């Protein structure tokens, strides 16, 4: 929506949602709009002076004497909350200041780093195009919750998992899946989130800062992760005429999903047969003829709510298709249910359990799947690989 078409009420709602949610992405989800649309509303609201932005900004920075806040929080931190102890005379005795990273500044730093690196980044040269492929078919290769960088001890978890095992297992699995699948003209490399086990130099979960079992340094995790993904994409290019790449946001790697999308867009900018989906929303859609494929990691919305969400967010794709499938991960086990107008398929993981899952008693079969879709008839085939097949 153009800036001049925005009402003051829409701008105020954007400001309220941002204060309530604490991040632009979560605020956009609250309002049911895209992140870019929300950013536009926020900019317009600030330009019009709507909302007590000056007071809110001071509070966010920890400097609002009206509320006994007089200690500025150092950038890139912002105020997450405060606890104050007053005596019977109403005088401040003690105060606890809680901080968090400013989501916007972190994202800006990631984008700036990607832009800087892109100047000298070696691009992938075009590969020979395959022949004798079917334009009516599209192969979907889904891998979710791979947790590259996780360390699992087999005596505790039932199976070992580390960087070396993850790379060997994923490459072997995709060798099998791609070669065994039909010669479809197009394919979707569906990296459905939580590809990386942790998202920063500290091996903790981004949201709650829970300590994770990590195999090694984050820099090495990134090297292995990029190497795995490049291998998979190049393998798909040999087999398929067009390769669509999805790097979905997970709850373990929300920031890494950003740089992965932009990094691989740059890596393959000289290869016209690769298209990296650069959607900034965690709800992604791809249309193959009369077949709609929807993607979400599964950490923000329950499975039974996804059909209505995708119908509302992608009304054109919904209205022009007759077969619709939504793919989710997150819960590490298979679940499939047909709703009105859309089938929601929850995928298992190929990775071993971590100590947290083992101690919680959560058990599920490990597997990875390739599904073949027809442009008119929807799903027409599938292939499943389990770790034992790769030994």
What's the pLDDT band for 107 if we cut at 50, 70, 90? low
Kind plus residue range of the DSSP H or E element containing 230: helix 218-239
Domain region containing 141 = 123-390
Do 246 and 191 meet the contact criterion of CB atoms below 8 Å apart?
yes
In angstroms, the CA 298 to CA 327 distance is 9
In this structure, the answer to whether residues 192 and 273 fall within a common structural domain is yes
In angstroms, the CA 53 to CA 57 distance is 6
pLDDT of 10 over the 70 cut? yes
pLDDT of 218 over the 80 cut? yes
In this structure, the answer to whether residues 235 and 291 fall within a common structural domain is yes
Whole-structure pTM value: 0.74
pLDDT of 358 over the 90 cut? yes
User: 138 versus 87: which is more confidently predicted?
Assistant: 138
Q: Give Cβ neighbours of residue 90 (< 8 Å, ≥ 6 apart).
A: none
pLDDT of residue 15: 81
Mean pLDDT, the chain, as a whole number? 88
> Which tens digits make up the pLDDT trace of 124-151?
888 899 999 999 999 999 999 999 999 9
pLDDT of residue 65: 64
pLDDT of 30 over the 60 cut? yes
User: 61 versus 370: which is more confidently predicted?
Assistant: 370
Q: How many structural domains are present in the chain?
A: 2
Kind plus residue range of the DSSP H or E element containing 381: strand 378-385
The tokens for 99 are 């901080």
In this structure, the answer to whether residues 330 and 244 fall within a common structural domain is yes
Residue 21, Cβ neighbours under 10 Å: how many? 17
In this structure, the answer to whether residues 270 and 138 fall within a common structural domain is yes
In this structure, the answer to whether residues 64 and 195 fall within a common structural domain is no
In this structure, the answer to whether residues 303 and 219 fall within a common structural domain is yes
Strand partners, 244: 188, 275
pLDDT of residue 8: 81
14: in domain: yes
- When pLDDT is averaged across residues 282-306 and rounded to a whole number, the result is 97
The tokens for 324 are 């619709």
Residue 219 belongs to domain with CATH number: 3.60.21.10
In this structure, the answer to whether residues 310 and 253 fall within a common structural domain is yes
Q: Is 253 exposed, middle or buried (0-12, 13-18, 19+ CB in 10 A)?
A: buried
In this structure, the answer to whether residues 90 and 157 fall within a common structural domain is no
114: in domain: no
In this structure, the answer to whether residues 9 and 141 fall within a common structural domain is no
In angstroms, the CA 30 to CA 262 distance is 26
In this structure, the answer to whether residues 233 and 329 fall within a common structural domain is yes
pLDDT of 98 over the 90 cut? no
In this structure, the answer to whether residues 139 and 7 fall within a common structural domain is no
In this structure, the answer to whether residues 146 and 257 fall within a common structural domain is yes
> Which tens digits make up the pLDDT trace of 108-129?
666 665 665 566 667 888 889 9
| Nearest residue to 190 (alpha-carbon basis) of 292, 327, 325, 282 | 327
109: in domain: no
């Amino acid at each position: 929506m153009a800036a001049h078409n925005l009402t003051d009420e829409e701008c105020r709602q954007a400001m309220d949602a941002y204060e309530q949610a604490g991040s632009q992405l979560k605020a956009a989800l609250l309002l049911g709009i895209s992140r870019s649309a929300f950013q536009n509303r926020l900019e317009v609201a600030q330009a019009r002076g709507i909302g007590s932005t000056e007071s809110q900004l001071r509070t966010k920075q920890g400097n609002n004497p009206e509320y006994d806040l007089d200690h500025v929080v150092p950038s890139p931190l912002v105020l997450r909350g405060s606890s104050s102890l007053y005596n019977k005379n109403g005088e401040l005795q003690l105060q606890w200041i809680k901080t968090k990273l400013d989501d916007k500044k972190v994202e800006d730093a990631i984008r700036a780093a990607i832009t800087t690196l892109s100047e000298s980044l070696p691009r992938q040269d075009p590969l020979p195009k395959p022949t004798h492929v079917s334009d009516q078919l599209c192969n979907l290769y889904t891998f979710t919750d791979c947790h590259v960088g996780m360390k699992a001890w087999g005596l505790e978890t039932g199976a070992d998992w580390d960087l070396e095992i993850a790379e060997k297992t994923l490459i072997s699995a995709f060798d099998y899946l791609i070669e065994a699948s039909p010669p479809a003209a197009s394919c979707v490399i569906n990296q459905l989130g939580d590809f990386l086990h942790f998202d920063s130099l500290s091996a903790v979960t981004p949201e709650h800062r829970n300590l994770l079992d990590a195999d090694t340094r984050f820099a090495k995790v990134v090297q292995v992760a990029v190497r795995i993904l490049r291998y998979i994409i190049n393998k798909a290019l040999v087999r398929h005429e067009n390769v669509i790449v999805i790097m979905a946001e997970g709850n373990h790697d929300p920031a890494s999903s950003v740089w992965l999308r932009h990094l691989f867009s740059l890596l393959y900018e000289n290869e016209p047969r690769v298209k990296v989906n650069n959607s900034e929303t965690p709800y992604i859609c791809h249309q193959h003829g009369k077949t709609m494929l929807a993607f979400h990691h599964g950490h923000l919305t329950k499975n039974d709510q996804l059909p209505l969400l995708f119908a509302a967010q992608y009304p054109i794709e919904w209205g022009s298709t007759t077969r619709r499938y939504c793919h989710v991960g997150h819960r590490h086990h298979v679940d499939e249910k047909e709703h009105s107008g859309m089938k929601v398929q929850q995928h298992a993981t190929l990775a071993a359990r971590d100590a947290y899952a083992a101690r919680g008693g959560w058990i599920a079969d490990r597997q990875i799947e390739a599904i073949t879709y027809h442009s008119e008839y929807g799903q027409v085939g599938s292939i499943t690989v389990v770790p034992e097949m790769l030994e």
